[in-house]
């Protein structure tokens, strides 16, 4: 993995930024998310949550005693036509 590899596409957080933050603060995945905004973008961490969890565990002294990052799917599915208020 290269340092300039983007882990969180929504917030454009790189591996280097995550690694530096994890090493500096020895933080959990949740704290890493709050300090870097990884997983807080448009997708809500659906694409990067697992990678941020793994990086936090690998780069710090964290042992799965911490609560992992929150994953919240939509409450209920809706049709795109309902969103646009299109004509019936």
Question: Which pLDDT band, with edges at 50, 70 and 90, does 6 fall under?
Answer: very high
Tens digit of each residue's pLDDT (9 = 90 or more) over 30-44? 888 899 999 888 888
Residue 75 lies in a domain: no
The residues facing 56 across adjacent strands are none
pLDDT band at 69 (very low <50, low <70, confident <90, very high): low
Cα dihedral angle (13, 15, 35, 41), rounded to 10 degrees? 30
Where would I find the H helices in 1-88?
Answer: 15-25, 29-36, 49-59, 80-84
* SS3 assignment, position 8: strand
The total domain count for the chain is 1
CA distance 45 to 49: 5
Q: What is the pTM of this model?
A: 0.67
| Residue 50 belongs to domain with CATH number | 1.10.10
Please state the length of the chain.
88
Residue 15 belongs to domain spanning:
6-64
């Amino acid at each position: 993995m290269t340092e300039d590899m983007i882990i969180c596409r929504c917030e454009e957080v790189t591996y280097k930024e995550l690694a530096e933050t994890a090493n500096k603060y020895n933080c959990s995945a949740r704290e890493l998310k709050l300090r870097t905004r990884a997983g807080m973008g448009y997708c809500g961490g659906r694409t990067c949550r697992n990678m941020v969890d793994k990086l936090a565990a690998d780069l710090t002294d964290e042992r799965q005693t911490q609560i992992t990052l929150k994953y919240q799917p939509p409450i209920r599915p809706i049709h795109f036509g309902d969103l646009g208020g299109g004509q019936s």
